[in-house]
Chains A and B, each alone.
Chain A
Amino acid sequence: MKLNGAQILIDCLKSEGVKHIFGYPGGAVLHIYDALDACTVIDHILVRHEQGAVHAADGYARTSGKCGVALVTSGPGLTNAVTGIATAFTDSIPMVIISGQVPSAVIGSDAFQEVDAVGITRSCVKHNFLVKSADDVAQTVKKAFYIATTGRPGPVLIDITKDATIAEIEYEGYPETISMRSYQPEIQVDIEQIAKAIAIIETAKKPIIYSGGGSVIGNASKALTTLTQNTGFPITQTLMGLGAYPATDKQSLGMLGMHGTYESNMAMHDSDCIIAVGARFDDRITGNLEKFCPYAKIIHIDIDPSSVGKVVGVDVSIIGQVNDVLQVLIKGLEAKKLPNIDAWWKQINDWRLVDSMAYKTKQGVIKPQTVIETLYEVTGGNAIVTSDVGQHQMWAAQYYPFDKPRRWINSGGLGAMGFGLPAAMGAKIAKPELDVACVTGDGSIQMMLQELSTMLQFHTPVKIISLNNGYLGMVRQWQEFFYDKRYSMSYMDALPDFVKLAESYGHIGIRVEKEEDLKPALIEAFKQKDRTVFIDIITDPTENVFPMIPSGAGHHEMLLAGRDEMSSTHDSGLNLV
């Protein structure tokens, strides 16, 4: 069958089972859009900015577990997409991004809307391809999906020249299989390493499971739950890992790290056996490396060998799909006598009494924590919650206990403001039957506001929970703690009227200024199943995220709200980012 490169591309995407593409047309991809127009099985969502396209594809991928797909034009289309690509890369999200490129004959001539897409994205993709011939389209698409979705997942860019989309060739169909000598993601679990891990676990007195994003991305939630419940060990989860193990279960200690719970961080510090599952010892988790887990033997389970030993030396590493490794470990532990850790639990329960997530309410002011707690109550804990980046992100993670994986969608690694709204749109498309809430702030929401328009056109009703404190709150918090309260450029003067703004985009806007109006407003918003509702909630402008491990401190040196003076940490925060 004779087809042009663009038609072949669309046929390949169909064969991959792609149902949704997020994108924005332009000169270099017009042939692709023309082929897409003739395709009835793929829905295209026309975003208003290419960053929104990639974030939406990302939210779609995180929620559904499928590979996200974005389509952008050359030049500015691609450069606008880069933040989204880097976001997906840092959080290991499977995604294929297709970008148009100028005709191969003019590559390198500084042609109109030409950028070196492969060069620009090289350091923030798992892999990328430049396709200059229609003959290479099918094979490349097959490779791209294979690479993006296997091993440690990640974004793969296909940059395709316009002439490659125009040329007609004899198309022999989408390849059924692929094999690459340089890329073999299947890993056999090393039984010897499992045995070494079991030997450590058997003699542990203070074990803890530390689970990260790999447990979510690797679909290991069930195995993680079995391991945790079979062993009776406490479990703490990273920002990226929330939901893999039910947060409301008694064995869950909550999140760890910079804004984690007191009991999580104290347990990590005092532990003699840490089982790290799909986690990468990120700096937000470890705090001061010299003070990190001084007594623990560390077992590290990860798909990516380069994650092992990158930050922290470990005693046993087990490389493989987290789910596979956990299955083998669970089996291996079945016949073993596990340690009695009653004393350890007693210690942990004492730490819990500190109640590190307690916060003081104030008459006449809405506390942001209260907003998240109310959101949890109103949604029954069943919503998909996306977030932007900043204080609201931490409060959402702290006060909305996630019991299921793929319900908490946030830019954990890159920390890209603007992620929340388009990600919510992608999430709603992936799971239309679930409520989707985008927890955001008055700073973040303004980075991707234009997607409100997309959300109307493509009917993706989400609830925007905006914690409006008039500040870039996390910046303000650090300036208060570490820069003598010199609030340089962290105050957002001249905010728009978000209610009118939402209305002008065809959505519902609600402003909440009194605490007594909060719950009724949220109930009303979630009743509007078919509408996007922007709830602009005026919150305490001076509230800070606690507890907190300040820079240079260890897990055992947390600062707690109401107990510790931040000024004591005054000169130590300056080196941290």
Chain B
Amino acid sequence: MRHIISVQLENESGALSRVSGLFSARGFNIESLTVATTNDPTLSRMTIVSVGDNDIIEQIVKQLNKLIDVVKVTDLTATEHIERELLLIKIAINNESQSRIETQFDQFDAKIIDVSEEVYTVELAGKSQKINDFIHAFNADEILEVSRTGVTGVCQK
């Protein structure tokens, strides 16, 4: 099962590699990992998406808690939570496809942030499934480049 684990940790050099090193050393899987500082500049928040059965997720949470730099670990999927991911995608357009493609943008509420000759660069924020659906709305040869941030999330309460 897919879990979103939110980790608050000391904003110190090497903290990221402690976490990523833990996952590789213990054979845990990482689907995505995002990290940035919080409103408290001494704290970073890392959001990790991992897939595993309950025993594995329990071990991941315990092992993360054991890292000296880690202040708090929350399995967001165990509570009411909000998750979002940001996509930047470059789509090739031509006279024939333009209106169909723009309709897709509208349907998904995606925002065109750069237009050049025959290429739109578009941003879309949403749940991972929505991002997947959006990407699949285009033909493979229309997609020039995809960059996703991975999931970030917060508890609702």
Interface residues of A (CB under 8 A from B): 118-119, 122-123, 126-127, 130, 147, 180-183, 304-306, 308-310, 313
Q: Is B113 an interface residue (CB 8 A)?
A: no
Contacts A182-B10, A182-B70, A308-B62 supplied; 6 other A-B pairs, CB < 8 Å = A118-B14, A122-B18, A122-B21, A130-B13, A147-B68, A309-B58
B59 neighbours in A (Cβ, 8 Å):
306, 309-310
User: Looking across the interface, which residue of chain B has its beta carbon closest to that of A180?
Assistant: B68
Q: How many A-B residue pairs have CB under 8 A?
A: 38
Q: With the chains together, A118 CA to B59 CA distance in Å?
A: 24
Distance in angstroms between the alpha carbons of A130 and B17 in the assembled complex: 14
> Which chain B residue shows the least CB distance to A132?
B13
Q: Are the CB atoms of B68 and A127 closer together than 8 Å?
A: yes
**B14 to chain A: closest residue by CB:** A118
Instruction: Identify which of residues 37-80 in chain B touch chain A, using a CB-to-CB cut-off of 8 Å.
Output: 55, 58-59, 62-63, 65-66, 68-71
The 4 closest A-B pairs by CB, nearest first: A306-B62, A127-B68, A182-B71, A123-B25
**In whole Å, how far is A124's beta carbon from the nearest beta carbon of chain B?**
9
> What are 30 A-B residue pairs whose CB atoms fall within 8 Å in the complex?
A118-B14, A119-B17, A122-B14, A122-B17, A122-B18, A122-B21, A123-B21, A123-B25, A126-B68, A127-B68, A130-B13, A181-B71, A182-B9, A182-B10, A182-B71, A183-B68, A304-B66, A305-B62, A305-B65, A305-B66, A306-B59, A306-B62, A306-B63, A306-B65, A306-B66, A308-B62, A309-B55, A309-B59, A310-B59, A313-B55
Closest to B55 in A: A309
Q: How far is the CA of A313 from the CA of B55 in the complex (A)?
A: 9
A390 to chain B, nearest CB (A): 27
Nearest-Cβ distance from residue B66 to partner chain A, whole angstroms: 5
Determine how close the nearest CB of chain B comes to the CB of A97; give it in whole angstroms.
Answer: 15
A313 and B70 CA atoms in complex are apart in Å by 26
Which chain A residue lies CB-closest to B63? A306
What B residues does A180 contact at CB under 8 A? 68
- Distance in angstroms between the alpha carbons of A223 and B17 in the assembled complex: 40
Contacts of B58 on A, CB cut-off 8 Å?
309
CA distance A122 to B70 in the complex (A): 15
For B72, the closest partner residue in chain A by CB is A182
CB neighbours of A308 from chain B (8 A): 62
Q: Which of A122, A126, A130, A306 has the most CB of B within 10 A?
A: A306
Contacts of B64-115 to chain A: CB distance below 8 A? 65-66, 68-71
Bound complex: CA A180 to CA B71 (Å): 9
Please pick, from A119, A182, A310, the residue contacting B68 in the complex, using a CB distance under 8 A. A182
Instruction: Report the separation of the CA atoms of residues A508 and B152 in the bound assembly, to the nearest whole angstrom.
Output: 67
Give CA–CA (A183, B67) in the complex, Å. Answer: 8
Q: Cβ of B10: which chain A residues have Cβ within 8 Å of it?
A: 182
Do residues A130 and B68 form an inter-chain contact, with CB atoms below 8 A? no
- Give the docked Cα–Cα distance between A127 and B68 (Å): 7
Question: With A and B bound together, what is the CA distance between A309 and B54 in angstroms?
Answer: 11
List chain B residues, Cβ under 8 A from A304. 66
Q: How far apart sit A122 and B17, CA to CA, in the bound complex (Å)?
A: 9
| In the bound complex, CA of A306 to CA of B66 (Å) | 8
